[in-house]
Amino acid sequence: MGMKKAESASWRTLVSFWLFGLCNNLPHILMLSAAEDINAKGNSAHHKEIYENGTCPLRHGVSHCGAEKSTGIILFADAFPSIIVKILVMFFAQNVSYTVRHSVIVTIQVIAMVIVACTESYPVAVFAVGLALCGVGLGESTFISFSSYFSRSTTIAWSSGTGAAGIVGSALYAALTEPQIVNLSPKNALLVMLVFTFTLGLTYWFLLDHPQNLYRIFQAKYNRDAEMTMKIMREKPKVRETTLKEKVILIKPLLRYLLPVMVVYIAEYTINLGLIQLIVFDCAHGFNLSKTSQYRWFQSIYRVGAFASKSSLSLLDFPVWVLYIFPFLQIMNAAIFFSETLLLFMPHIMVAFGLILVAGLYGGSAMVKCVSHVHKIVEPDIKEFSLAVVATTNGMGVLFASFTGIWFHDIICKTIG
């Protein structure tokens, strides 16, 4: 496949990037969806019984703090390793083969998922969450940068896949562990999800139309065919040689797009992993769902919103200035959820479900617009690096949200007792 074909993005390429987004991001979704179950590994036998008995709270307004750890701890274990890996990839990984990176991604994710599923130790589980997200962070930076060798449509396919990961991961995990549906243990549910990690490996090696202008240079050098080498070198997209200082300078023009998205993600994940944990409805107003089931379905519905917004850019491409409105809207959403933890004014869980759906719409729209816009406006010789920078944006927002989530959890629990 030459340069012309790479620009047109075959159906195999688009499907591959959609699957990259789906399968690579699934461990991230699973770690967040399973945060309550992972926390249970560190609770007493009494608290584990409460987590696993599948009963809904009988009364509304009861404090759900107790001895529970904030799910923000899981968010920190999720976000911190991922952002470190993304920064390292952004500055230092341009000369590492995409095939090598992909092999590392798949290996790390398989090992981490098995450890999280099988261990009974809370510290080991948290370590494995961090390991899994190292793989996810490497994958996100790798695949977004990889899209620079293809048309802009691959970024939309990738973003749609990440949105689908939210729905598939959270809804499937909720359904598999829901006592009223499949009723698998969290351990077995996580092990079932390994099928997506294996799909990630197979997609890269057997489905993707690899751009020959990127890979054939190695074959040409091996064959010592000077004419072929020169031809492929001319086809290979030029990448600007930059020092570390120059790369930092290249980030500055992107901040106008990155900062609004980061604020959106801070507010968004403060809701998801700091506030939702403390919003629990009783049987009459919560569809008879248990505390952990409510948490899982909150995550699932939020992901539906993210998927819908990430998949709609090709149909509804809003102007870039809308990026600056999303932070204010998401902060207002977070304020409503914070007020609910203290005042309990929502009449039914459906209201909270509607608001969490909107949170997903805001976050997904902001991220996909940022990725697509940067892919369109930056110069070709710095596109790979610029997209790697964008890949760190949501991670930074999630990392900061882990601190705000823990902070709000402590404030609320001290207030309501």
Per-residue pLDDT of 133-145, as tens digits, reads 899 989 988 898 8
Q: Most distant CA pair in the chain: distance in Å?
A: 78
Q: Which two tokens stand for residue 318?
A: 């809003």
Backbone conformation region of residue 188, classed left if phi is above 0, alpha if psi is from -120 to 50, else beta:
alpha
Q: Taking 60 as the threshold, does the pLDDT of residue 255 lie above it?
A: yes
Q: Note the CATH architecture for domain 3-416.
A: Up-down Bundle (1.20)
Is there a contact between 33 and 299 (Cβ–Cβ < 8 Å)? yes
pLDDT-based confidence at residue 68 (cuts at 50, 70, 90)? low
The span from the CA of 31 to the CA of 75, in Å, is 8
- Which of 36-50, 296-310, 328-342, 400-414 has the largest mean confidence? 328-342
pLDDT of residue 50: 42
The candidate with the shortest Cα–Cα distance to 54, out of 36, 31, 72, is 36
Q: Where are the domains of the chain?
A: 3-416
Q: What is the dihedral of CA 347, 351, 356, 360, to 10 degrees?
A: -170
The span from the CA of 29 to the CA of 408, in Å, is 22
pLDDT-based confidence at residue 6 (cuts at 50, 70, 90)? very low
Handedness of CA 5, 6, 9, 15 (dihedral sign): positive
Q: Taking 80 as the threshold, does the pLDDT of residue 45 lie above it?
A: no
* DSSP-assigned letter for residue 147: G
pLDDT of residue 5: 39
Is there a contact between 378 and 371 (Cβ–Cβ < 8 Å)? no
Express as a percent the part of the chain with pLDDT over 90: 25
**Single pTM value for the model:** 0.74
Render pLDDT for 124-135 as a digit per residue (tens, 0 to 9). Answer: 888 888 898 899
More confident residue, 22 or 235: 22
Render pLDDT for 278-336 as a digit per residue (tens, 0 to 9). Answer: 888 888 888 888 887 888 788 888 888 888 887 776 667 788 899 999 999 999 999 99
